[in-house]
Structure 1
Amino acid sequence: MSHYTAIIADDHAIVRSGLKSALENQQLVDGHIVEIVAEAGNGMDAIAAVKQYRPNLLVLDVSMPIAGGVEVLVETRRWSPDTRIIVFTGISAMGKVAELIEAGVDGLFSKAEDNEGLYQHVPLILQGGRYISAFFTDIMDNAPQQSGLTGRERQILNLIVAGQSNKEISGHLGISAKTVDRHRTNLMQKLDVHSVAQLIAYSLREGLIDSAAEI
């Protein structure tokens, strides 16, 4: 019988409690023993716990105070590369889903789904497998195809969202207003939006805005 250690990171105590009870129920995880060695209610505590315990498994929400889930994921890969990471989240924005998959999560499950799917796939993930739930694969499959944004386009997108005009962006970046307008047009075409208001709304909804970006 296999024995594994795990950390649960979620800012809701009731969610942590439910996950702990379920993961420690051997019948739900195919007879394996999963020992919860720590819980964390924010990103910094999650990172500290990973550093201390180097667990076999981290079950992680991505919407947490202090440090976001993607930051926790990156730090976990740095400090405990053998830890398997399951993201269990309520988000559904296409941009964030793609970011998590690109970051290399081992499991991705939605809080909008029946939790049985998560518990059923824990043994697979612990043994080196990877599973993205149907909730997220459907989002990916049904999403409109988009060209990736260039670094300059993302830079201009942040300035547009900040309310700057083409002239102001031109002065900020040291490029012509005509060049700014061309980038703005390319952004709208790539994201299939038809006004600045739609561009801003779409970008915020899909997580395309990087609040920490240097602009």
Structure 2
Amino acid sequence: MPTIRVMTVDDHRVVRAGLAAMLAGAPDIALVGEAADGREAVERYAALRPDVVLMDLRMPHMGGVAAIRAIRQDDPAARIIALTMYDGDVDIHRALTAGASGYLAKDVPVDELASAIRAVAAGRRAIPPAVARALAEYAPRVDLTDREVEVLRLVAKGLSNSEVASVLGLAAGTAKVHLQHIFQKLDTEDRTEAVTVALQRGYLHLDD
């Protein structure tokens, strides 16, 4: 059986070390490289051309979705699994739309991770049933803009409209207008509900 060459991408050294340890027990899988952010991942992919990439989604300099898109633009045959601790339906949809062949949680058992790598290397998709259900229930929505996400992130930290405007350098009433648009797009009625829905859908994360 030919060896499957894998590259890991994560901004946490301990996560990369953990993945290396997990894969060490699979005789048909070899770790050939790693990267600490999306920008480095694109460069390392071009140099190594691994069979499968395990890609975190939230990293500095260039996020995982942008890195997936860049790698696939350079090599349409690239096979990438989004491996992340987040499971918001927006995260899943963006990763798969960008070209990922699979989506797994970081706490996945080692045998499931190895099976996913083998499946993706063989040209199949690796999407657990729970993720498939989330995708089936995903309804196209009007996406939040980057500015709206910035506003909502500050609202989640407890800032008032005037404080949000001050932090972002906006006119006093502009933050309120952004918030009204957010309520409409998320179909929510107040700040607390908007933050809750944004967390569920993957626009915001608990460590933001």
> Shorter-chain TM-score: what band?
0.7 to 0.9
Distance apart, 1:91 and its partner CA = 0.7
2 CA distance for matches of 1:8 and 1:197?
37
1:1-215 aligned within 5 A: 1-27=1-27, 32=28, 34-140=29-135, 146-149=139-142, 154=145, 157=148, 161=152, 163=161, 168-169=173-174, 184=180, 188=183, 191-203=186-198, 206-208=201-203
**Maintained 8 Å contact 1:110/1:133:** no
Distance apart, 1:199 and its partner CA = 2.2
Distance apart, 1:62 and its partner CA = 1.0
Distance apart, 1:205 and its partner CA = 5.3
What is the TM-score with the length of structure 2 in the denominator? 0.72
Q: Which stretches of structure 1, 4 residues or longer, exceed 6 Å deviation after superposition? A: none
Q: Deviations over 1:101-153 (max 9, x none)?
A: 22231111102332321111222210110011234234445x6x645116xx7
Root-mean-square deviation (CA, aligned residues, Å) is: 3.4
Query: Which secondary structure state, in structure 2, belongs to the residue aligned with residue 132 of structure 1?
Result: coil
2 CA distance for matches of 1:7 and 1:63?
17
Distance apart, 1:86 and its partner CA = 1.0
2 CA distance for matches of 1:100 and 1:41?
18
What is the TM-score with the length of structure 1 in the denominator? 0.70
1 CA distance for matches of 2:150 and 2:77?
39
Q: Deviations over 1:146-186 (max 9, x none)?
A: 45116xx7488458647469x944xx9xxxxxxx79x947x
Letter in 2 for 1:198: E
Unaligned ranges ≥5, structure 2 = 155-160
Count how many residue pairs are aligned between Structure 1 and Structure 2.
190
**Maintained 8 Å contact 1:6/1:59:** yes
Q: Deviations over 1:8-44 (max 9, x none)?
A: 11122232223224434345xxxx3x33221112222
Distance apart, 1:194 and its partner CA = 1.9
